[in-house]
């Protein structure tokens, strides 16, 4: 009996890509330059583990909060693509995990007089897949699962647009859940590829800010209202 090659059909968009769902062209062309082609996916090998930014909390003085992360299928991560024998990785689309994780990372942050901007980076397992693309061999680098690990890192936050201020009452809190998301450029680096990621808020991906002051203070969207797809910062 003749053996059947272990390939699965995939369609890739080659070239620069913003983080988010790929846009497929109407017509397939041969693989050359920044065009699209039909590819067959073959074997894969481990590429390592890398932290991927999936959330953040901007906490000015006397703000506390909490970040919970459970569902990897709410995260969209950019994938790397390169042809065999050619240069480094380039953006080759994005992937969303097909199944939810069975673990939860819970990260409570107490209010403090010191301002902090904390990003949360989930440890993701990456693999390199071999592709056959209309007569050319290529490779795709993508995350395949979450280890359950989460790394908080202290960094500098973005600037907000004061058109998008939102009040939070004294000793009150605000949580982002269903219906909003945030995107991060340079969310991870592995094997020479730097990619972006976005994370949709849901019942299992939750950002919460707690105003510990006995007066009204504000949160602020970076590019839109805090109820929509934007990063969020707090005001002291």
Structure confidence by residue, pLDDT tens digits, 31-50 = 554 446 678 888 999 999 99
132 domain-assigned: no
Bridge partners, residue 105, by sequence: 69
Residue 178 confidence (pLDDT): 73
Residue 211 lies in a domain: yes
Range of the domain at 71: 47-125+146-234
Q: Does residue 94 have a pLDDT over 70? A: yes
What φ, ψ does residue 162 adopt, rounded to 5°? -70, -5
Residue 36 confidence (pLDDT): 60
Total count of domains within the chain: 1
Q: What is the pLDDT, as a whole number, of residue 139?
A: 92
The pLDDT assigned to 74 comes to 74
| 212 pLDDT tier (thresholds 50, 70, 90) | very high
pLDDT for res 34: 42
pLDDT in tens, 157-195: 999 999 999 999 999 999 987 768 888 999 999 999 999
Summarize pLDDT for 53-88 with one digit per residue, the tens. 999 999 999 999 999 988 667 788 999 999 998 888
Residue 140 is assigned to a structural domain of this protein: no
Closest CA to 110 of 11, 235, 208: 208
Residue-wise burial string across 31-42, b where 16 or more C-beta atoms lie within 10 A, e elsewhere: beeeebbebebe
Whether 19 has a pLDDT exceeding 50, the answer reads no
pLDDT at 93: 83
Assigned domain for 29 exists: no
> What are 120-159's pLDDT values in tens digits?
999 999 999 999 888 889 999 999 888 889 999 999 999 9
Render pLDDT for 217-232 as a digit per residue (tens, 0 to 9). 999 999 999 999 999 9
Question: Residue 134 falls within a domain, yes or no?
Answer: no
Residue 67 lies in a domain: yes
pLDDT at residue 102 greater than cutoff 80: no
Q: Is residue 28 part of a domain?
A: no
26 found inside a domain: no
The per-residue pLDDT for 165 is: 97
């Amino acid at each position: 009996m003749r053996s059947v090659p272990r390939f699965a059909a995939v369609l890739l968009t080659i070239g620069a890509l913003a983080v988010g769902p790929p846009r497929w062209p109407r017509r397939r062309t041969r693989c050359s330059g920044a065009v699209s082609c039909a590819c067959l996916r073959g074997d894969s090998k481990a590429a390592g583990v890398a932290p991927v930014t999936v959330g953040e909390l901007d906490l000015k003085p006397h703000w506390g909060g909490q970040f919970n992360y459970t569902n990897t299928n709410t995260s969209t991560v950019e994938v790397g693509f390169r042809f065999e024998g050619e240069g480094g990785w380039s953006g080759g689309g994005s992937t969303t995990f097909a199944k939810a994780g069975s673990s939860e990372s819970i990260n409570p942050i107490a209010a403090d007089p010191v301002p902090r901007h904390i990003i949360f980076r989930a440890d993701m397992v990456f693999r390199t897949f071999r592709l056959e693309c209309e007569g050319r061999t290529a490779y795709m680098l993508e995350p395949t699962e979450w280890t359950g690990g989460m790394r908080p890192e202290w960094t500098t936050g973005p600037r907000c647009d004061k058109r998008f201020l939102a009040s939070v009452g004294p000793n009150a809190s605000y949580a982002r859940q269903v219906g909003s998301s945030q995107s991060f450029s340079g969310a991870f680096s592995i094997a020479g590829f730097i990619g972006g990621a976005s994370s949709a808020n849901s019942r299992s991906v939750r950002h919460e800010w707690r105003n510990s002051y006995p007066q009204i203070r504000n949160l602020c969207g970076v590019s839109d209202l805090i109820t929509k797809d934007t990063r969020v910062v707090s005001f002291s």
